[in-house]
Amino acid sequence: MTNKGKVLAAVIAVVAVLAGGVGLYLKGGDLMGKIFKVVPTLNVSLHASTPNVSILVAGEQFQPVASFKLVAGSEDLTIDSLSINCTGGDGALGSADNNIVSVKVFGGDVNKTSYLTNGVASFTGLKLFIPKDSDVVLNVNVDLNTIPNGATSGEYFHFSVGNIKAVGVASAMSATVKKTGIQESKNMHVYETEPYLTLNSKSPSGNKTPAASDTVMKFDIKANSREKVKIEKISFALASNAVFDTTPATTVTAYLKNISSSSRSGKIVASGRVDIVSTSLATVELLPIGILEIPKGTTVTYSLELNTQSMITQSVNDDLLTPSLSVSIIPGMNGGFWWNDTNNTVKWVDAASVPNGSFDLKGHTLTY
């Protein structure tokens, strides 16, 4: 055999051995005849579909809490077992177990249920197959305990995946698990009640005329089917193109009206004062007049009314006003929502904790 033929045969041998999960150790261009093993790998990361910070209603079932992306390297893998770990708001495993009845994982050809013990739900006998250079998204859902049976209003927790045992199909070797990026899911908050705020389709927009009682926003608040929502306070941020009067002649008042099609339609249910912080920023804090509740399983429509005659300058078609309850990371622009949950006051004013969409309420820009 010629030298060229020998080299070709050696290359073919190396390729053939690598395909089986082993290879030859090379040094200085010489084949030393030493065999090494190519260890299979599994990459783990938080998947983009994992839920944002959310409210989980106590007693609800099959609530999504996390999604993890599992990627096989250059060899087919089978995942035999793993654990889903639940960490409480105090940073400890097991401190939130009372809120969760069961943990479910599903994805690929896996659909299994387990239970938390000191913050760890173990899953064995999975036989989850992942083709090489491919991925499987493993979703995690939970069934929640009720408040009477041990869940605690206001507690929160997040999830991670661990103790993964994966094996290469061809090599029968244990895979090296590599974790990339953020591994913990977003915080999930347990409450008995869940208000959900949305902008009403008839919320005003476009050109308006300043008025002593001017409707600047209409929005809906929905209560879940399990429990009524008792509102304690609502605050809004008001933005303008630097046209607020910082020294109004009179106190600028604000009102919240129930405008649902019921006997209470048009009734003032909360009131407050507009505080003008600067020519471009004002805030409104509304306190209920008496008890302000949304019955369970219903939606109530409200209107926000302001004295825009007193608060904005009087020019033609160049004064802009944008009411917002959106929790914002911009200093001074925060709105907020406070309600009562099993006799505890809950407030959402922290931008880092705002649930996904629940308290992101922004009105249309109005031109005066």
Do residues 354 and 53 touch, judged by C-beta distance below 8 A?
A: yes
Structure tokens at 341: 């949950």
Q: What is the pLDDT of residue 314?
A: 65
Cβ–Cβ < 8 Å for 36, 23:
yes
In CATH terms, the fold of domain 196-367 is Immunoglobulin-like (2.60.40)
Per residue in 104-130, pLDDT (tens digit) is: 999 999 999 999 999 999 999 999 999
Residue 315 dihedral angles phi and psi, to the nearest 5°: -125, 180
Decide: 162 and 83 in contact? Cβ < 8 Å: yes
Q: Work out the mean pLDDT of the chain and round it to a whole number.
A: 83
Q: What is the model's pLDDT at position 346?
A: 80
Calpha distance 18→9 (Å, rounded) = 14
pLDDT at 84: 98
Rounded to an integer, what distance in angstroms lies between the CA atom of residue 146 and that of residue 142? Answer: 13
Residues of the chain with pLDDT under 50: 6-29, 31-34, 316, 326-333, 350-352, 356-357
pLDDT of residue 198: 85
Q: Can you tell me the distance from the alpha carbon of 209 to that of 69, in angstroms, rounded to the nearest whole number?
A: 53
Tell me how far apart the alpha carbons of residues 65 and 186 are, in angstroms, rounded to a whole number: 8
Return the pLDDT at 335. Answer: 63
Task: For the chain, give every domain's residue range.
Answer: 3-37, 41-191, 196-367
Helix, coil or strand: residue 255? strand
Helices (H), the chain: 3-19, 308-311
**What CATH number has the domain spanning 41-191?**
2.60.40.2030
d(CA 26, CA 268): 83
Pull the structure tokens for residue 32.
């030393």
pLDDT in tens, 177-231: 999 888 999 999 999 988 888 889 999 988 888 899 999 999 999 998 888 899 9
Cα pseudo-dihedral 185, 186, 192, 198, rounded to 10: -130
Q: Tell me whether the CATH fold assigned to 41-191 matches the one assigned to 196-367.
A: yes
pLDDT per residue as tens digits for the range 231-240: 998 988 888 8
Residue 210 is predicted with a pLDDT of 87
Here the tokens at position 194 are 């869940």
CA dihedral 258, 262, 266, 268 (to 10 degrees): -50
